[in-house]
Amino acid sequence: MKTHITFRRDDADLSLHESGAGDALVFQHGLGGSEAQVAEVLPQGLGWRRITTECRGHGSSTLGTRRPFSIAMFAADIIAAADEKGIGRFIAGGISMGAAIALHLAKTHRERVMGLILVRPAWSFARAPDNLEPIREIAALLRSRSLAEGRAIFASSLTAERLRLEAPDNLASLLGYFERPDALAFADVLGDIASDGTGVSQEDAASLAIPALVLANRQDAIHPLAVAQLMADTLPDAHFLEVPAKAAAREAHFAAVQTVIRQFLDTQFKHRSLAHP
């Protein structure tokens, strides 16, 4: 059964989605995504209680007035949502920005995060990574040009030309930022988050001795395979898998991601209870 509630956090209304039963899997969407993006990645009948809180300005959640937006801010909202639901220990996971939030939670709430699922991570250990520069470019255009003019400038840029060849799926997603009904307000989210970092150093990650799954694919300039490989090499108990490229084989990509997540949870946690240490 799926449930949906809204709870107040500071001056923002956050949309919290819950489905399934069992131990808790707190799983977050990517930048510009929503609960629907998470539903694509996680298989049905997983046997876990899945909690997704749409981050400020995403899905049905409001922006609020706190600035700047940050991964740490969003992570704090996730902990508030877990507290709202009475969840103590959980597996943390997410896609892209959601993976960054999960990693931040694993460092800052070690007593609560029992495992990690990082799908197409975009951050490793540096702030404002180069692979997120296209998002920063779009944020600047949204702040300085009309939507139509900004989209036209970006679509004809060298960045877009490169992405058309290397990662067409990324380009389609990036151009979609100009189509959002809240595009002008969302520019602050894009610019702030793409300029941020996880707050987790390589040394921090190397000390996270919990089961971790790291998934990535080729033909993805925003989520480079090398970032995921570095993450998997650094986390001491990580399992890395390259899945089919979403740009080339969308159905095969999601089928592989769902299968591997299910296998990871069954293998690593089937006989464990998160309720007690």
pLDDT in tens, 158-215: 999 999 999 999 999 999 999 999 999 999 999 999 999 999 999 999 999 999 999 9
Phi and psi based region of residue 61 (left: phi greater than 0; alpha: psi -120 to 50; beta: remaining): beta
If asked whether residues 181 and 104 sit together in one domain, one would say: no
Residue 60's pLDDT is 96
What pLDDT score does 213 carry? Answer: 98
Boundary residue ending a domain (143, 161, 195): 195
d(CA 29, CA 55): 8
Q: What is the pLDDT at residue 63?
A: 95
Amino acid at 200: V
Neighbours of 176 (CB within 10 A): 11
Q: At what angle do helices 158-166 and 147-155 cross, to 10 degrees?
A: 60
Q: Distance between CA atoms of 140 and 150, rounded to whole angstroms?
A: 9
Record the tokens describing residue 147, joined without a space.
């939507």
Q: What is the pLDDT of residue 1?
A: 78
pLDDT score for 270: 76
Name residues of the chain where pLDDT drops below 70: 271-277
Which residue range(s) make up the domain with 185? 131-195
Q: What pLDDT, on a 0 to 100 scale, did the predictor assign at position 82?
A: 96
Cβ neighbors of 99 (< 8 A, separation 6 or more) are 28, 93, 118, 119, 120, 121, 122, 123
Shared domain check, 172 and 144 = yes
Q: 195, 216, 247: which is the final residue of a domain? A: 195
Please tell me the distance from the alpha carbon of residue 2 to that of residue 13, in angstroms, as a whole number.
Answer: 19
Is residue 116 domain-shared with residue 19, that is, in the same domain? yes
Instruction: Identify whether residues 138 and 182 lie together within a single domain.
Output: yes
Q: Can you tell me the distance from the alpha carbon of 191 to that of 69, in angstroms, rounded to the nearest whole number?
A: 9
Please report, for the domain that includes residue 84, its CATH number: 3.40.50.1820
pLDDT for the residue 272: 64
Same domain, 32 and 120: yes
- Residues 79, 206: one domain? yes
Q: What is the pTM of this model?
A: 0.96
Mark whether 184 and 264 lie in a shared domain: no
| 111 and 175 in a common domain | no
Q: What is the pLDDT of residue 37?
A: 97
132-150: pLDDT as tens digits = 999 999 999 999 999 999 9
Tell me the residue type at 23: D
Provide the domain count of the chain: 2
pLDDT of residue 44: 83
Same domain, 76 and 206: yes
- Structural domain ending residue among the three candidates 150, 168, 195: 195
Residue 277 lies in a domain: no
Q: What amino acid occupies position 170?
A: N
Residue 161 belongs to a domain: yes
